[in-house]
Amino acid sequence: MSSTDVEAMMEHTDSTEIIFTDLNGRIRRLPVNPKNIRQIAVEGIGFDGSSVAGIATVEHSDRLLMPVLNSLKILPFKEKKTSLFVGTIHNEHGERASTDPRYVLEKVVAEAEELGFRFQASPEYEFFLFHQDKYSRDLNTDNAGYCEADPRDQGEKVRNRIIDVLTSCGVPFEKAHHEVSPSQHEINFECSDPLNAADRTLVFNYVTHMIASEHNLHASFMPKPFNNKNRNALHIHLSMQDRDGQNVFYQKDAEHDLSRKARQFIAGILKYARQTSILMASTFNSYKAYVIEREAPVVVGWGPRNRTSMVRIPYATNPQATRLELRSPDPAGNIYLQLAAFIKMGLQGIREGLDCNNPDKGKAYFQSTQKKVWDTRLLPKTMFEALVEADDSQFLQELLGEQQYQNLMKIKTAEWEEHRTSVTAMEFDRYLPY
Q: Which amino acid is at 295?
A: E
Residues 6+ away with beta carbon under 8 Å from 8: none
Whole-number pLDDT of residue 323: 95
Is the CB of residue 289 less than 8 Å from the CB of residue 280?
no
Q: Rounded distance, CA 44 to CA 55, Å?
A: 16
Q: Rounded distance, CA 68 to CA 286, Å?
A: 31
Interhelix angle 194-214/335-351, nearest 10 degrees: 160
Partners of 63 in the β-ladder: 47, 91
Is the CB of residue 177 less than 8 Å from the CB of residue 185?
yes
Q: Which amino acid is at 2?
A: S
Q: Rounded distance, CA 167 to CA 235, Å?
A: 21
Whole-number pLDDT of residue 181: 84
| Per-run averaged pLDDT (10 residues), the chain, 434 residues | 84 93 96 93 94 90 95 92 96 92 98 97 93 66 69 79 93 84 89 96 96 92 89 94 95 91 98 98 94 81 87 89 95 97 98 92 62 88 97 97 97 97 92 89
Whole-number pLDDT of residue 166: 94
Whole-number pLDDT of residue 365: 58
DSSP secondary-structure letter at 231?
P
Nearest in space to 76 (alpha carbons), one of 194, 191, 164: 164
Whole-number pLDDT of residue 276: 98
Q: Rounded distance, CA 158 to CA 142, Å?
A: 13
Q: Rounded distance, CA 176 to CA 124, Å?
A: 10
Residues 6+ away with beta carbon under 8 Å from 376: 274, 300
Q: Would you give the end-to-end CA distance of the chain in angstroms? A: 67
Q: Report how far Cα 40 is from the mean position of its chain's Cα atoms.
A: 28
φ/ψ of residue 405, rounded to 5: -60, -45
